[in-house]
Structure 1
Amino acid sequence: MTNLQKSMGGAVGTFVALSTILGSGMMILPGTSYHELGKSAWMPWAVAALSVIPLLYCYAWLGRRHPSASGVAHYSEIALGPAVGRAAGLLATFALVTGIPATAITGGRYVAEFSGAGSLAWAFPAVVLGGATVVACLGANVSGKLQVTLILGLFALVMCTAVVALSAHGLTAPSTELPRFSRLGGVLTAVYVAFTGWETVAFTFEEHKRPDVIPRIFAASYLIVVALYALVLLGLFAAVNPGDKVLDSAPLLILAERSLGNLGRPATLLLVVAPITANVFASVLALSRLVFGMARSGYLPALLSRVRERDRNPVTSVITVGSTLTLIAILGSSGLVPFEALFILSGGIYFVLYGIGAASFAKLARGDMARVISVMCAVTVVSVTLLAGPPMWLCWALFAVVWLGTATLGRRPSTVGRRRVDS
């Protein structure tokens, strides 16, 4: 079996994780939640941040013990059988194929609006996806180092914007008034999108030099993500009225303008371009690894499992993924593919993958701590699924259909037993 080269260190791995998690949600969700709930908007963010911890624990545990380019497909195959593994892998592929172009298109719309050049709405997604493909062809370590630069720049800019806003307008205490349950539930479901991405990071774990540091990568990236969202939210509390309608479309723009004056618009452009570019670069890398892993396992054409001999980089998979995503982004930005549908499908499937990962952990892990974590994950998954309503139910139904379909088509010769021993 061909394995990928272990070239990624812990620091680069942490920034790859940050790039995967910080995407288009950062540009919209703090503003929409504040517009909906006022200064009680911190509540759904706190609930989401705390309740996602057990799910992250599961993925960190699985990644450390079973590092594989197939990520959740590999974990669920070991734990729950080949049919579940194949269904999880196919759904993960579908989620990324829809979610990555949607993220790139979001960046294109921002850039087009800021510059006044409408053609950038489709040109920016095409350029950033093309660049991500070229960088992924150079290897995971090159891609990771580039993402370090982008995320460091983003962190410095968010810190500067929020600190200036708090200095100029004063720290405003969050409200302790509990919103109506229906409103809180709706915002909570949306906010969870900001805490998806760690399941995608798992597709790069095979290339980590030291899988034992994966839990630390998860912990560090989690704390940084929470800090960034908290800074943005506190900055909005201080500088912006919750009734401002701009919060639903461009919260970072109004925050930057209130904080930095004339520098607000160019600063906002950087705040948009940095996370979008980093997210697309990280996600293209992750998807190419997933496609490679699925092909290596026999679930996709064997051609996609070829690697370049000198560095064991799956360039065939990278080029195929990059070309497909670029085409979808161009179609989506032109209106031929519904843009909103891309986000709805990908967001729901990401959460389904969290649930599958948690179920795999529950099957493989032993001990009292594992049982407590499994129960906490079950409560989170069921609660969010019920609160989210029909769109999330549709994603679980889609998983069930794919699972039953793969089981009906028959089982391939399984390597599950051997993988359990190897791991």
Structure 2
Amino acid sequence: MSGLRKSLGGAVGTFLALSTILGSGMMILPGTSYQELGRSAWLPWAVAAVSVVPLLYCYAWLGRRHPSAAGVAHYSEVAFGRSAGRSAGLLAVLALVAGIPATAVTGGRYAARFSGLPSLTWLFPVAVLVVATVIGCLGTSVSGKVQVGLVLGLFALVTCIALVALGAHGVRAPSTALPPAGKLGGVLTAVYVAFTGWETVAFTFEEHKRPDAIPRIFAASYVIVVALYGLVLLGLFSAVDPGDKALGEAPLLRLAERSLGDLGRPVTLALVVAAIAANVCASVLALSRLVYGMARDGYLPGPLARIRDRDGNPVTSVLAAGAVLTLIALLGSTGVMSFRLLFVLSGGIYFVLYGLGAASYAKLAGPGAPVAVAVLCAATVIAVTVLAGPSMWACWALLAAVWAVTAVLARRPAPAEPERETADR
């Protein structure tokens, strides 16, 4: 048997998407935005939710018509050539290699804070990455079932906490007061991170039984994500004061304590473990597929494209990805590597990949309505780039540098083979 097995159905694919999208952003961003803007905090979330729709449409369109384990690397290659494909793929690998350990380390910090065991700061991220690697080695079907269980548990906990808070403290309507533009822009840039992840889901598209269901998977996961963040924000508006210092560190803990009393701490710990574990498991699977796809296309060493005959699982790429991620998580959790740098690098590159996906869509979809969608995507990407400042500019500069190097290397002539000696010599 050759190639990845098409084993993902629509329901499991939706849960896999949710696992990839819901991660460390849910642990912090609702609290920090509320702390900054009070009950006007819904505004940046609404702007981000609406403006990201055209970008998701582009990726849904590309995934349906060009399902590939290489995701944006494949789309970019089809649209703009091998140099673009290699550049996009390498940046995608870098984003995931930075972002997945950062998410795991965030879980470790929460676990250490809630349990009072400082060793969990590094032990939790290492453990969750090892478990995610083992699950990835068992195959997509097993990983998908794990995602379903974890995400269902996450939904139950978040919904319970938010509804109890609303019932106990009453609903406080969001404010329509507009905050200062500079303050709103800064929060908006951070909030956009909560709506990244769909480009990562694209690395699993090759394993979908029905690529035509991909747009529905995107739509369903989008609606659920928006509803979940809306519930969390309404719960915070109702039960927590915007001046509470805990909002910047553990907003869900504070919300759970105000809703459930003494049960708040253990419930929050369970919520954090479910969210982080689901995100890491799904992301490790996605990264292994990207590595496999790039190796198959000749962008990474060939042995990484090996698959297990009995189930079509690229175990070599899973193990390689897991080993690298575990090492980086260990370095990040112990302070050897900058934890903040991992998040900044990952978040910035995600939006570069959004831009590349939108550009690929514009090139492949042709004239007409796709042009309008591409213009909306360009407006979103440019706005985020301007608001984010130097950190985002550096990510675009990194793309330009990688693309230039790969283009130069592609033009270099292959070394001439030495002339063979003839029998007459």
TM-score by length of 1: 0.96
Amino acid corresponding to residue 112 of structure 1 in structure 2: A
| Conserved? CA contact 1:151–1:274, under 8 Å | yes
- Deviation, 1:331, is 1.1
| Conserved? CA contact 1:304–1:314, under 8 Å | yes
| Conserved? CA contact 1:93–1:290, under 8 Å | yes
- Deviation, 1:411, is 5.3
State the partner residue of 1:85.
85
Find the aligned partners of 1:254 and 1:312 in 2 and give their Cα distance: 45
State the partner residue of 1:304.
304
The alignment partner of 1:70 has SS state of: coil
Amino acid corresponding to residue 138 of structure 1 in structure 2: L
| Conserved? CA contact 2:185–2:387, under 8 Å | yes
Structure 1 or 2, whichever has the larger Rg, is 2
The alignment partner of 1:410 has SS state of: helix
| Conserved? CA contact 2:2–2:309, under 8 Å | no
Q: Structure 1, residues 281-334: CA drift from partner, whole Å, max 9, x if none?
A: 000000000000000000100000000011110000000110111111111111
State the partner residue of 2:418.
none
State the partner residue of 2:13.
13
Amino acid corresponding to residue 319 of structure 2 in structure 1: I
Where in structure 2 are there 5+ consecutive unaligned residues? 414-425
Amino acid corresponding to residue 219 of structure 1 in structure 2: A
Percent same amino acid at aligned positions? 74
| Conserved? CA contact 1:133–1:322, under 8 Å | yes
Greater Cα shift, 403-412 or 162-171: 403-412
State the partner residue of 2:121.
121
Find the aligned partners of 1:355 and 1:13 in 2 and give their Cα distance: 24
Write out aligned runs for 1:193-204 (5 A): 193-204=193-204
Where in structure 1 are there 5+ consecutive unaligned residues? 414-423
Find the aligned partners of 2:192 and 2:371 in 1 and give their Cα distance: 24
Amino acid corresponding to residue 160 of structure 1 in structure 2: C
State the partner residue of 2:40.
40
State the partner residue of 1:409.
409
Find the aligned partners of 1:398 and 1:348 in 2 and give their Cα distance: 10
Amino acid corresponding to residue 289 of structure 1 in structure 2: R
State the partner residue of 1:183.
183
State the partner residue of 1:229.
229
Write out aligned runs for 1:321-332 (5 A): 321-332=321-332
State the partner residue of 2:205.
205
- Deviation, 1:8, is 0.6
Find the aligned partners of 1:175 and 1:109 in 2 and give their Cα distance: 32
| Conserved? CA contact 2:8–2:207, under 8 Å | yes
Find the aligned partners of 2:369 and 2:60 in 1 and give their Cα distance: 14
Question: Aligned pairs, how many?
Answer: 413
- Deviation, 1:3, is 2.0
- Deviation, 1:114, is 1.0
The alignment partner of 2:410 has SS state of: coil
State the partner residue of 2:254.
254
| Conserved? CA contact 1:83–1:411, under 8 Å | no
Find the aligned partners of 2:323 and 2:344 in 1 and give their Cα distance: 23
- Deviation, 1:366, is 2.7
Amino acid corresponding to residue 346 of structure 2 in structure 1: S
Find the aligned partners of 2:50 and 2:145 in 1 and give their Cα distance: 30
State the partner residue of 1:134.
134
State the partner residue of 1:417.
none
- Deviation, 1:118, is 1.1
Find the aligned partners of 1:310 and 1:34 in 2 and give their Cα distance: 50
Q: Structure 1, residues 76-122: CA drift from partner, whole Å, max 9, x if none?
A: 00001111110000000000001100000000111111111111111
Q: Structure 1, residues 181-233: CA drift from partner, whole Å, max 9, x if none?
A: 00000000000000000000000000000000000000000000000000000
Find the aligned partners of 1:32 and 1:168 in 2 and give their Cα distance: 23
State the partner residue of 2:269.
269
| Conserved? CA contact 1:82–1:411, under 8 Å | no
Change (3 A) 1:400 1:339: same
- Deviation, 1:368, is 2.4
State the partner residue of 1:156.
156
- Deviation, 1:2, is 4.3
State the partner residue of 1:336.
336
Q: Structure 1, residues 359-399: CA drift from partner, whole Å, max 9, x if none?
A: 00000003422111111111111111111110000000000
Change (3 A) 1:412 1:154: farther
Structure 1 vs Structure 2 CA RMSD:
1.1
State the partner residue of 1:28.
28
Find the aligned partners of 1:58 and 1:226 in 2 and give their Cα distance: 19
Change (3 A) 1:155 1:412: farther
Change (3 A) 1:412 1:373: farther
Amino acid corresponding to residue 61 of structure 1 in structure 2: W
State the partner residue of 2:358.
358
State the partner residue of 2:219.
219
Find the aligned partners of 1:128 and 1:343 in 2 and give their Cα distance: 18
